[in-house]
């Protein structure tokens, strides 16, 4: 059962926001260091983080890699337009793409394209092969436009957190 916005707001305060702000900047921080940073007890901090996980506010933690440290890597964004956009077809395409080892992220989009797919490959030949083998060969895919990514960075600034109905 999904937790309602009202339930998420109940007992959500500045300490919770401060915890999220620090974790957004450094998800690898220890509970003790997080508590020290916020000047709260470690047990309080741990319970707050558990609560945020249970509410689904914290969905998980990820290891962010610097792909430039690996030889022979190219990152690209593939904009995918489907022939027919139905929930079942879109979900199947998304799930299949997420299984590919070259796929980093899949964004389901509104607008002209249905998906933006963040990809990492060894070289342009690998990219070409991937697009033909796994994208354009699918009957539900109408068009794929691929763009190379020269650089990307993730903001360390937590987005404004207002739970709204």
Describe the strand order of the beta sheet including 115-121 as a list of residue ranges: 103-108, 115-121, 74-82, 141-149
Q: What is the pLDDT of residue 156?
A: 86
Map tokens 């903001």 to a residue.
155
Query: How far is the CA of 140 from the CAs of 5, 49, 55, 112, in angstroms?
Result: 36, 41, 36, 15
pLDDT for res 5:
57
The segment(s) of the chain belonging to CATH 3.30.70.920 are 67-149
**Helix runs in 10-119, H state only:** 14-25, 31-38, 42-54, 87-98
- Our CA dihedral for 146, 150, 153, 159, rounded to 10 degrees, sits at -40
Instruction: Per residue of the chain (165 residues), give pLDDT as tens.
Output: 566 655 666 678 889 999 999 999 999 999 999 999 999 999 999 999 999 999 888 999 888 888 888 877 899 999 999 999 899 999 999 999 999 999 999 999 999 999 999 999 999 999 999 999 999 999 999 999 999 999 888 888 888 766 544
pTM of the shown model: 0.79
Residues 6+ apart with CB under 8 A from 111: none
For the chain, give every residue range classified as CATH 1.10.10.10.
Answer: 12-54
pLDDT of 162: 66
Helix axes 31-38, 42-54, angle to 10 degrees: 110
**Contact in structure between 107 and 157 (CB atoms under 8 Å):** no
What CATH class has 67-149?
alpha beta
Taking a C-beta distance cutoff of 8 angstroms, is the pair 76, 127 a contact?
yes
Cβ count near 141 (within 10 Å): 19
- What is the structure's pLDDT at 62? 84
Count CB atoms within 10 A of the CB of residue 114: 23
Looking at the DSSP bridge assignments, the partners of residue 81 are 143
Q: What class does CATH assign to 12-54?
A: mainly alpha
* pLDDT at site 1: 56
Residue 84: the pLDDT is 92
Element at 117 (helix H, strand E):
strand 115-121
């Amino acid at each position: 059962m999904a937790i309602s916005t009202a339930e998420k707001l109940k007992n959500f305060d500045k300490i919770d926001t401060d915890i999220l702000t620090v974790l957004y900047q450094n998800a690898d921080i220890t509970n003790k260091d997080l508590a020290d940073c916020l000047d709260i007890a470690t047990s309080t901090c741990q319970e707050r983080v558990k609560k945020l996980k249970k509410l689904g506010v914290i969905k998980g933690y990820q290891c962010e890699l610097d792909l430039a440290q690996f030889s022979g890597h190219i990152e690209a964004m593939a904009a995918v337009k489907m022939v027919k956009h139905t929930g079942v077809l879109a979900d199947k395409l998304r799930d299949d793409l997420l299984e590919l080892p070259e796929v980093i992220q899949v964004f389901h989009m509104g607008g002209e394209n249905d998906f933006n797919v963040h990809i990492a490959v060894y070289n342009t030949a690998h990219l070409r092969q991937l697009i033909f083998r796994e994208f354009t060969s699918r009957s539900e895919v109408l068009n794929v436009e691929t763009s190379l990514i020269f650089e990307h960075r993730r903001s360390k600034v937590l987005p404004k957190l207002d739970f709204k109905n």
